[in-house]
Structure 1
Amino acid sequence: MSVDGEPVAMWEPFVIPAGSTVEVGQVEAGLRAYLLLEGGIDVPDYLGSKATFSLGRFGGHAGRALVIGDVLALGEAVQPADAVAPVPSEARPSIGRTWEIGVLDGPHSAPDFFTPDDVEAVLSTPYEVHFNSDRTGVRLVGPKPQWARQDGGEAGLHPSNIHDTPYSVGGMDFTGDTPVLLGPDGPSLGGFVTPVTIAKGERWRLGQLAPGDTVNLVRLEPAHPEPVGAARGVLAERDGLVLRRQGDDSVLIEPRRAGLDLMLRARIHVLHRALRENPPAGLRDLTPGIRSLQVTFSEPSDVTREALDGLLALAADVADAEDLVVPSRHVRLPMSWDDPATREAIARYEAGVRDDAPWNPWNIEFIRRVNGLDSVDDVYRTLFDAEYLVLGLGDVYLGAPVATPLDPRHRLVTTKYNPARTWTAENSVGIGGAYLCIYGMEGPGGYQFVGRTTQVWDRWASFAGDDRAVDGTRPWLLDFFDRISWYPVEADELLRLRADFTAGLWRPEIVDGTLSMREHAAFLDDNAEEIAAFRSTQRAAFGEERERWHAAGEFTRVVEPVVAAAPAALAEGCVGAEAPFAANVWKVLVAEGERVEVGDAVAVLEAMKMETRVLAPHAGTVDAVLAAAGATVAPGDPIVAIRTEVAA
């Protein structure tokens, strides 16, 4: 790092005179460098923060990464720079290519979800950081678990599938057989198991993990050990409720009894409301899942035995919720069935992640098969006849709902992608397990596609009527216990509606109402025979699909890591373009032998109209790209940048 060309030391304060130029330079150790400015950057708060969430395109400076020409105002300095002491040498971390990261067991460990050998493997295996990693999550390459159960039941065919539950930053999430360390931009809710969670004081290391690094997870001694005979990560049990550890600053409260039961969700709702009205000391956040409630404290020191006993006692007092009547709006949304954007996501998955998945090339046909339906038209009718109840928000980002049909006869059950997709179009609609989700933004995903709809998040507007709004802003459309129904539109019409939504010219139809749990229970009783028949057919088809997977080796498949190829020699007269990431060329859009003119400050790859995407672990250079394309440029011609599209 330098100021006006003069080097300045890392980890020490320095003064930047007005008009000076600060250059950070190349990061030589780790993945990221940080520049701290006295007073901070003066930008408006968004949802209580000044940070930028670039994937969601909000917060910070215009909701995006900085570009040339941006002007940033600084906040008021609290103290002069010379009053700030350098970071002591003993407090400066050692940053290399091999890491040890402290974790704690839970929330989903052995013997309920993983075998004891699986958990020991997690804690003894040197994992490699996969190139397909970012702030949403750090994918790891390592051994495949043996698993303690055959499948996830209603949550999905793979044993990693669970009913959607809140996640913690730093959770080791198994998306199928692939482990992912969830980052600060990762989802707050999802349907995969998490055997261990990184301790709060260790999470900074996530930001420095670079592709190819080695990660060793080390078990830390918990402040509150598991009771004798309890599963790993279980802090306490009482009256059918279990308290699970999520790192050292969060706990998860859920019923011991497995399965999807709307009465259990109602019970979680009552508990959520009780804790909001009488919060324990140090409470920072509450996140409800399908059948669980995450309680997050400001500091690990707030997670006392007294606090844990109080949570369990309060949860046990919420014995049932049969008399619960909740606000429940009816929200009608358009859907483009089998939308082209979902087809593109499937094609990308097959090209860059996995080309032999049993749910591809058409997710809808897989949904038909695994539910025992006669035709794809039956999938269509079931979906559009259903009324989906919103049980959670924030599943795969930005107010994305996780919802299930009120009528079990409409409850299509699928499994989730293994491994997960790296790209999903904004507002794609998918089904995973027994749940439907609308993806709030572009990003990874694992639900089986059925279509695409309009936005469920509006970064420029505020939807009224929810006391969860921060600073008067509530950009998410849906609420807990809303009921969603669909009407079909063509793909072109959907694009028009999406544009009108962005312009503030259109909003979906919403009608206020209520939902009575007692009345819903009566409905289930009245239709119990038909519901049982539907579920019987569904279970049989589910079992047949499981047998097909066994026969095909789906449950025992082993993916050998691709060995990076050595860079090919450059052809005479060609110039190499160095890429600071592991990548391969997705497609070349120039004819062989075509000459490409290169202007000042224009990247060769951009001039060639070449697209690159991080899709396979090839060498970390693209030296042979120009030769492969037949381009001829003179040595010394400027190569300033490489325009890329990197899969999240």
Structure 2
Amino acid sequence: MATPGEPVVHRVLIANRGEIARRVIRSCVKLGVETVSIFTTVDALAPHVREATRAVCLGDNPREYTNAARLVQEGPDATVALRHKRGAPFAATLDGEPVAWLSSFRVAAGQVLAVGQIIGSVGVRGYLAVRGGVEVPPYLGSRSTFPGGKFGGYQGRYLRVGDSLPLSKTADQGAEPTTLPAELAPAFGGGGECLAGGRTDVRPDDTVLFQRLTLADALAARLATDAAVAAVRSVAVGAAPEAEALAAYRTAVAAAAAAAAAPDLPLPPSRALTLELPPKEGFPGAQYRLAGDRYVQVEYGPMELDVRLRVRVHCLQAILKEMAAAGELPAGGLVETSPGVRSCMVEYDIALLSPGRLLQALELAESRIPDVSSMVLPSRVVHLPMAFDERWTREAIAKYMKSVRPTAPYLPDNIAYIAENNGLAGGKDEVRDTIFSASYLVLGLGDVYLGAPCAVPLDPRHRLVTTKMNPARTFTAEGTVGIGGSYMCVYPMDSPGGYQLVGRTLPIWNTFGRCGPFSPAKPWLLEFFDQVRYYLVSESELETMRAGFASGQFDIEITPTTFDVAAYTAMVAGLEVETTALKAQQRTAMDKMLLAEADSLAELAAAGLDAAAAAAGAADDEDDESVYDKPGYVKVVAAFSANVWEVRVEVGQAVAAGDTLLVLEAMKMETPVAAPVAGRVLAVRAKLSTLAPSGMTLLVIDTNEQEA
């Protein structure tokens, strides 16, 4: 949220006339926002022109009101910088003249900065930095964009051709154009990073060897990086001459090495399991695992589902937060704690809180955890409607079978698979009855995205178990309910996923928190230790409820209650005989289904090899790609290895710059590939549902007709 009294928007361009424009101006004046009126000569003396903070004449032609390129010329000057990550520079020009990467330069109003294709075959990302940043409203403390969740950044979506991004008032203030000194520039490739044949990119089937660092090495590297950042900043803002900044950097690097060699407490062993505390009466035992130089993972007890361990994790989080607030930890040293079912990932800043001191604090926190066996925690019973085995789930499975995997033990019906995997004689009906009888205790949030619950039935007799889809789906409808392992999850957005799908419920995320149980500070529905209970509704009833819930016209029942650990433990003990029999039944059924899955995967692999051989043969028969190395021909290449999910154009089709040509799928995400230029599709080399390796030419665009 913006600071009260501080406008998120500093300047508004008014592309309108008359009284409407005047109303906008009056509203902006009240908010302290500058206004820019645009006009043609016929309106030169109009009130909306005179009352605006600034007015810009577009000439005599009224059509200039809709000329986006003309309006951009009235934007502010800016100081920008181009940088690449992992050695991925792009072709870049300013008004047609090449500009250097790892440097900053001024872009005057009306100039065009064009960023094109990757230079070479290394890397996939580049960054454009603007002095002062892009002035978009912060969301949950960030200005970044999450397109999948449709929030943050610019309108919560990918940028499109014609978008106009508002820049900060300081876009051209306080910094002089500069080039990063060579000593501070990141170096990619060469030395230990260079692969066979002099390559610096990693390709399928490559063997990658990692260099093991000690915690002392990591601490020294972090402190040296901080010194480099400080030096770069001082050069960029003109706080110090380059020579002076470099001298300070060298001194800081030497000091970093000395500081890393003499921490406030001895560094723990640089191995994954850095500390282990044995179990004893009232304590399940703990393991402390290093996760790089930013995290320590705390794990409790044996690797089994025990809700009491989750309660212990909850206590650890609370105590660490109290210790940080009381000054028992260095300010800023404890960054965040993320709970799991029997673990807690502790993020820390190694430059502020040494690993030795962190482990000391974790042991101290452990000693302060009370007896969890008798704890009573606040809880809520959240009643949600669910349409069971509905059309949205079936559509997601059909899409999966078409584009990912046509056959599997869990296809074409996830629910029938769940019944078979658990040895349920009642089939799908018994799955339904079990789900609607269960009370799901929320142990985690954000398991998939955006406050998605990781919840387990309180009654162990309701714990259906499943494997996940392999490979995962690339699409799951928002609100879908799935089961993976013994956990229930609700997908809060359209997203990839691997849980077996059983139905759909209400949205559990409300971006702006404007209605119902949501708020701007808490746009997610569920909380830790909530108990979710479903009731059955039809598809049409659910559609009506979903629309009403999103608009604040349908309320759900939420009942305050408690979670009594001792009562839960007694209940589980009383059901031990039934639970043991159920687990044996599930084990027998699962072994059978795992064998079926192994056979299915073997068949899938054989079919894939045959398809790959056929594709290779077809590729050999195609024309040599060099025929497209002609003036005006633009090759669109795959920036990374991915499956061709969708091809949206055909040979001969006219396309505009920014049009989506095809969609690639990798890492459970779909990525649109846009036309870099306008022209006509000359060739489509991408094949639907096949692998496109990094650097492959997907299609070719002929720009010659466009130029003519």
Q: Matches of 1:201 and 1:300 in 2, distance apart? A: 7
Say which of 560, 566, 574 aligns to 1:512.
560
1:579 aligns with 2:636: yes
Mark the CA change 1:69 to 1:548 in structure 2 (over 3 Å): closer, same or farther.
Answer: closer
Which of 96, 106, 117 pairs up with 1:15?
A: 106
Deviates more, 1:329-338 or 1:430-439: 329-338
- Secondary structure of the corresponding residue to residue 119 of structure 2: coil
Q: Which amino acid aligns with 1:616?
A: T
Specify which of 435, 438, 442 is matched with residue 390 of structure 1.
Answer: 442
Check conservation: 2:286, 2:298, Cα contact below 8 A: yes
* Alpha-carbon distance between aligned partners in 1 of 2:224 and 2:388, rounded to the nearest angstrom: 44
More helix by share: 2
**Shift in Å at residue 504 of structure 1?**
3.2
Q: Distance in 2 between matches of 1:399 and 1:454?
A: 13
> Quick check: 2:439–2:459 contact (8 Å CA) kept in 1?
yes
Partner of 2:164: 71
Distance 1:401 1:127, change over 3 A: farther
How many Å apart are 1:345 and its aligned residue? 2.7
Maintained 8 Å contact 2:106/2:172? no
Q: Is the 8 A contact 1:248 1:303 kept in 2?
A: no
1:68-467 correspondence to structure 2 within 5 Å: 68-77=161-170, 80=173, 82-83=175-176, 85-94=178-187, 100=193, 227=269, 233-239=272-278, 240-279=285-324, 280-281=329-330, 282-299=333-350, 302-318=353-369, 320-374=371-425, 375-461=427-513
TM-score between the two structures when normalised by the length of structure 2: 0.63
1:486 to 534, 558, 567: 534
Change over 3 Å in CA distance of 1:597–1:313 after alignment to 2:
closer
What SS class does the counterpart of residue 374 from structure 2 fall into? coil
Q: Which amino acid aligns with 1:409?
A: R
Cα distance in 2, alignment partners of residues 367 and 264 from structure 1: 27
Distance 2:574 2:568 in 1: 10
1:517-536 to 2 correspondence within 5 Å?
517-536=565-584
Counterpart position of 2:252: none
Q: Which runs of 5+ in 2 are unaligned?
A: 1-91, 195-199, 208-220, 226-259, 279-284, 663-679
The change in CA–CA distance for 1:439 and 1:595 in structure 2 (over 3 A counts) is: closer
1:378-417 Cα deviation digits (max 9, x unpaired): 1111011111000000011110000000000000011122
Do the aligned residues in 1 keep the contact of 2:515 with 2:552 (CA within 8 Å)?
Answer: no
In 2, the alpha carbon distance for the partners of 1:304 and 1:96 equals 31
RCO higher in structure (CA 8 A, sep ≥6): 1
- Say whether the 8 Å CA contact 1:331–1:509 is kept in structure 2: yes
Q: Rg: which structure is higher?
A: 2
CA distance in 2 between partners of 1:98 and 1:349 (Å): 43
Deviation (angstroms), 1:67 = 2.3
Deviation at 1:89, TM superposition (A): 2.0
- Residue 251 of structure 1 and its aligned partner are, at CA, apart by 1.1
Q: Structure 2 CA distance, aligned partners of 1:477 and 1:546?
A: 36
The alignment of Structure 1 onto Structure 2 pairs a total of residues equal to 515
Question: Using a 3 Å threshold, how does the CA distance of structure 1 residues 554 and 59 change in structure 2: closer, same or farther?
Answer: same
For residues 202 and 424 of structure 1, what CA distance do their matches in structure 2 show?
Answer: 44
| Secondary structure of the corresponding residue to residue 579 of structure 1 | strand
Work out whether residues 586 and 613 of structure 1, in 8 Å CA contact, stay in contact via their aligned partners in 2: no
| CA–CA distance in structure 1, aligned partners of residues 636 and 316 of structure 2 | 51
Distance 1:586 1:61, change over 3 A: closer
Q: How far apart in 2 are the matches of 1:142 and 1:226?
A: 33
1:565-615 CA deviation, whole Å, 9 max, x = no partner? 438349x9xx9884332667667899xxx998758779696999x9x9974
Instruction: Note closer, same or farther for the CA distance 1:556–1:348 as it changes in structure 2 (3 Å cut).
Output: closer
Tell me: CA distance 1:141–1:354, structure 2 relative to 1, closer, same or farther (3 Å). Answer: farther
Contact 1:52 1:59 in 2 (8 A): yes
Residue 3 to residue 549, structure 1, CA distance change in 2 (3 Å): closer
Q: Residue 399 of structure 1 contacts residue 478 of structure 1 at CA under 8 Å; is this kept in 2?
A: yes
CA separation in 1, counterparts of 2:654 and 2:171?
49
Matched residues in 1 for 2:687 and 2:505: separation?
26
Partner of 1:170: none
Q: 1:202 to 1:453 in 2, by over 3 A?
A: farther
> For residues 590 and 660 of structure 2, what CA distance do their matches in structure 1 show?
52
Q: What is the distance in 2 between the residues matched to 1:331 and 1:251?
A: 34
Structure 1 residues 584 and 227 mapped into 2: Cα distance closer, same or farther (>3 Å)? closer
* Unaligned ranges ≥5, structure 1: 102-125, 130-139, 144-198, 204-220, 627-633, 640-648
